[in-house]
Amino acid sequence: MAAVFGKRHSRLYFADGTFTLKAEDGTYYNVNRELLILKSDFFCGMLSLPIPGHPPLRLNQTSKELLQKAKEAGLDGTSDETAVKFPPHFTSSECDIFLEFIFNILPWTKDSPSLDRLCALLKTCDFYAVEWGMEYATHHLENHPDLRAALRYQLASTYHIARWAYRAFREMMSASILDLSLQEEAWLGWDAYRVLVRTHAQVAKYRLTLAFFLPDVVHAHFCYDKVGLQPVPVADGYGSRRNGTDPGRRAILA
């Protein structure tokens, strides 16, 4: 038997668990295989495969019999020695958050989840194809008070949430480019940051152009009388005003 390095999770290593997972820091989780299959398309595809060298399960067979067959076949996830590893870019905290959500073991609270928890859920549920988990996270992030525009844009780009990309860019256009922190610039990435800076510069240039080179005034072709509010044609708006005679006023006083 291979040596096992790490520790068992205090709350997520169940004595009757049928599937073992391992985080990047060596933490082991032992959870229910059937619930993983039910709640995640990723695990459904992976764990629904037939066991090599064994006939398919009969209807009267239990999950314990399936687990015994899997152990005999030496399949991954049947013990600590053969634990299925979470991806290396998942922290142990993100693994905790994902499994706590999947198995619904957190106490109920009326408060919105924290920003870090929701971002972790978005990341893990996207990877493991938990569509309802993605919907839960995006719902609570939609108007989260701690979600900065730059991070919203980064999440939108990563998880293909088009409405967030548009909203985030508009918010950043309404603020000064100098207010962006180094962390926000990192969230944006070079390409998006370059587009944002260029757009800010183009808007500033356009405003200066309007300030120094005023466009010609286009006068109305109709003047409404004071009594019936009926449009009265204006014969010569430019020349008559320059000469001190307002045809609209003349029409009203007539």
pLDDT tens for the 254 residues of the chain, in order: 444 557 999 999 998 888 999 999 999 999 998 899 999 999 988 887 776 666 655 545 556 666 677 677 667 888 899 899 999 999 999 999 999 999 988 776 778 899 999 999 999 999 999 999 999 999 999 989 999 888 998 898 999 998 998 888 888 888 888 788 888 888 888 888 888 888 888 887 788 777 777 777 777 666 655 555 665 555 554 444 444 445 444 444 44
Distances (CA, A) of 160 to 103, 121, 152, 153: 26, 15, 11, 10
pLDDT at 30: 95
Strands 7-13 and 19-22: unpaired
CB atoms within 10 A of CB 17: 17
Domain boundaries, the chain: 7-102, 115-212, 222-253
Longest dimension (CA), the chain: 109
Q: Say how far apart CA 53 and CA 203 lie, in whole Å.
A: 68
| φ, ψ dihedrals at 222, nearest 5° | -130, 150
Which pLDDT score, from 0 to 100, does residue 29 have?
96
Helix, strand, coil fractions of the chain, as percent rounded to 5: 50, 10, 40
- For the chain, what's the residue count? 254
Measured distance CA(141)–CA(62) in Å, rounded: 40
For residue 64, the SS3 value is: helix
Q: What is the pTM of this model?
A: 0.69
What is the three-class DSSP state of 11?
A: strand
Question: CA 150, CA 171: separation in Å to the nearest integer?
Answer: 9
What is the predicted pLDDT for the residue at 52? 67
